[in-house]
């Protein structure tokens, strides 16, 4: 069989303290990872290496990488570069473990050690007479950084997580970090764990070690609250619903965040704007998210695609190649200096998701012309299953452009006010009467015309470029628009989102 083209697996494995591991025969019986079936055994001290070797040599896998995530606590801290010493130690360990792992009918290649990468996270607890003052959030986000770095560099098809060898709190942090990264980067996760090592069974170890000297006295153990990690995952899952233009689950979580302290409200505010953008997109209200839509009171619409892009660009960008927490020794303690500039640690994956998600709207953010904008918006609606709304936004943008351009050609006016727009709209549609420009659009009519109803528009600006007439700006009558949005009812958030910006 030939290798499946482009199918790559990233294995993530928390490793606690390898010198304690003993040799075992690790077997995978009909284990499925992304449709690949593993059925073989290896003898060694690590289930992660078994998984790595079986995937690395599999006929249907294009390539495999292993990311080992360890803790600063594995060796006695010394010198100024604690993290560098720990990484060097893990790199020597990975080679020894790979060399001592033997699989049935499998010939290893020396260069495979180069596809085993090491990430080190802050430690927690007392080791070697030092107290490591990390915490679960620092451990989580540093694990997340390492996983994301490997996803960006390797672009795996799927992620496999082996939880066999991690220390208790390290395993939890890496588990949550893997789930978080999989949501942000839209990857499937497969989780494996070996059976417990049998009591009373004693085989040789693969890594030599020195046993620490016993210390008398009752140790002090802190109980850590890890519920924040679950909240982050809940938030990411709600954010993930936006990929299907569904903002309702996220709105419920935002209500809870707003009741909390005023700190970090800038993140809540930008997410608020994005939920309004998603609601307007889902309901086909094209005019409200068009980049060059403005209000008659001189303000911009806060949830247009470009406005949200500009807001996200103002937040600090993170370097995934540099550790976010640096260990330092202070009075028999290892403390962690934070390198994340002005971003609360728990918001890192959330902000990462928002940038990743809005990246899908990049073409829209660059669109200046209404018809071009509608065309790209239509593709997003169709992809999300809203093909009926796609037809509406494309047709309504085309109709409005046609009417506006007719006014421009016949009058020479680039800025077309509501009176002229209504006059030509009535001629185009064959309507007679004294006009209804003061009427507010009902919700159904508002959506049916992609929020481009002539009676709520204050003016439109057109230009001629290469012989083609294009709409380049829409000005809404603020009061009429707000009354129209109020008619949408409590199920809509648009009126509140627009009103809070004034």
| Residue range 455-489, pLDDT digits in tens | 899 999 999 998 899 999 999 999 999 988 988 88
Cα-based torsion angle of the residue sequence 136, 137, 143, 148 in order, rounded to the nearest 10 degrees: 160
Cα-based torsion angle of the residue sequence 240, 243, 249, 254 in order, rounded to the nearest 10 degrees: 70
Place of tokens 């679950």: 230
- Tell me which long-range contacts 194-198 makes (C-beta under 8 A, separation of at least 24): 194/24, 194/26, 194/47, 194/164, 197/22, 197/24
Look at domain 8-210 and name its CATH class.
alpha beta
Residue 93 has pLDDT above 70, yes or no: yes
- Relative orientation angle of helices 227-240 and 168-184, to the nearest 10 degrees: 10
What per-residue confidence (pLDDT) applies to 431? 61
- Could you report the per-residue pLDDT of 281-334, keeping only the tens digit for each? 999 999 999 999 999 998 889 999 999 999 998 888 888 999 999 999 999 999
What per-residue confidence (pLDDT) applies to 4? 59
**Gap between the Cα atoms of 481 and 485, Å rounded:** 6
Residue of 353, 429, 407, 425 lying closest to 182 (CA atoms) = 353
Residues 6+ apart with CB under 8 A from 21: 45, 46, 165, 205, 206, 207
- Could you report the per-residue pLDDT of 132-141, keeping only the tens digit for each? 999 999 999 9
Query: Is-contact 66 116, C-beta < 8 A?
Result: yes
**Gap between the Cα atoms of 409 and 83, Å rounded:** 69
List the beta strands (DSSP E) in 134-223.
158-162, 188-192
Alpha helices per DSSP H over 57-133: 82-99
Please tell me whether residue 135 adopts helix, strand or coil conformation.
coil
CB-count burial class (<10 Å; 0-12, 13-18, 19+) for 31: middle
- Could you report the per-residue pLDDT of 336-360, keeping only the tens digit for each? 998 876 677 778 999 999 999 998 8
- Could you report the per-residue pLDDT of 20-70, keeping only the tens digit for each? 999 999 999 989 999 899 999 999 999 999 999 999 999 999 999 999 999
- Could you report the per-residue pLDDT of 153-184, keeping only the tens digit for each? 999 999 999 999 988 899 999 999 999 999 99
Q: What does the domain layout of the chain look like in residue ranges?
A: 8-210, 236-318+357-499
Half-sphere exposure of 475 (CA within 13 A, CB side): 14
Residues 6+ apart with CB under 8 A from 357: 239, 242, 243, 274
The vertex-245 CA angle with 239 and 247, nearest 5°, equals 50
Partnered with residue 42 across adjacent β-strands are 26, 103
pLDDT band at 441 (very low <50, low <70, confident <90, very high): low
Report which secondary-structure segment, H or E, holds 117. strand 116-121
* pTM of the complete model: 0.91
- Could you report the per-residue pLDDT of 244-295, keeping only the tens digit for each? 999 888 888 887 776 665 557 788 888 999 999 999 999 999 999 999 999 9
DSSP annotation of 324: S
């Amino acid at each position: 069989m030939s290798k499946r083209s482009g199918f790559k697996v990233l294995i993530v494995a928390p490793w606690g303290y390898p010198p304690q591991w003993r040799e075992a025969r690790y077997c995978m019986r009909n284990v499925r990872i992304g449709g690949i079936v593993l059925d073989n055994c290896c003898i060694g001290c690590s289930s992660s290496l078994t998984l790595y070797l079986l995937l690395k040599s599999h006929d249907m896998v294009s390539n495999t990488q292993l990311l080992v995530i360890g803790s600063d606590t594995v060796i006695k801290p010394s010198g100024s570069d604690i993290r560098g010493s720990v990484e060097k130690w893990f790199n020597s360990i990975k080679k020894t473990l790979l060399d001592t792992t033997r699989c049935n009918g499998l010939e290893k290649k020396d260069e495979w050690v180069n596809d085993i990468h090491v990430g080190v996270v802050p430690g927690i607890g007392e080791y070697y007479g030092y107290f490591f003052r990390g915490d679960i959030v620092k451990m989580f986000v540093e694990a997340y950084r390492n996983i994301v770095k490997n996803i960006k560099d390797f672009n795996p098809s799927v992620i496999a997580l082996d939880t066999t060898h991690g220390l208790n709190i390290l395993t939890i942090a890496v588990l949550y970090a893997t789930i978080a990264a999989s949501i942000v980067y839209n990857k499937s996760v497969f989780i494996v764990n070996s059976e417990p090592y049998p009591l009373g069974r004693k085989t040789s170890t693969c890594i030599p070690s020195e046993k620490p000297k016993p210390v008398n006295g009752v140790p002090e153990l802190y109980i850590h609250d890890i519920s924040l990690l679950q909240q982050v995952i809940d938030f990411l899952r709600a954010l993930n619903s936006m990929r299907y233009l569904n903002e309702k689950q996220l709105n419920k979580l935002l209500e809870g965040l707003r009741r909390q302290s005023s700190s970090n409200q800038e993140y809540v505010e930008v997410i608020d704007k994005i939920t309004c953008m998603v609601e307007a997109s889902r309901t086909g209200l094209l005019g409200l998210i068009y980049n060059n839509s403005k209000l008659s009171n001189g303000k911009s619409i806060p949830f247009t695609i470009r406005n949200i892009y500009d807001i996200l660009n103002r937040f600090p960008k993170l370097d995934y190649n540099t550790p976010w927490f640096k260990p330092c020794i202070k009075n028999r303690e290892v403390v962690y200096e934070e390198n994340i500039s002005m971003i609360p640690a728990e918001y890192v994956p959330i902000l990462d998701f928002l940038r990743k998600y809005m990246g899908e709207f990049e073409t829209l953010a660059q669109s200046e012309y209404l018809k071009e904008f509608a065309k790209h918006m239509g593709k997003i609606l169709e992809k999300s299953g809203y093909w009926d709304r796609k037809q509406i936004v494309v047709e309504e943008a085309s109709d409005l452009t046609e009417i506006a351009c007719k006014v421009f050609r016949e009058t020479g006016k680039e800025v077309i006010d509501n009176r002229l727009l209504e006059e030509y709209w009535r001629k185009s549609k064959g309507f007679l009467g004294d006009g209804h420009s003061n009427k507010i659009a009902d919700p159904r009519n508002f959506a049916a015309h992609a929020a481009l109803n002539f009676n709520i528009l204050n003016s439109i600006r057109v230009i001629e470029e290469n012989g083609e007439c294009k709409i380049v700006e829409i000005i809404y009558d603020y009061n009429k628009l707000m009354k129209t949005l109020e008619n949408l009812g409590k199920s809509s958030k648009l009126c509140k989102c627009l009103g809070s910006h004034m």
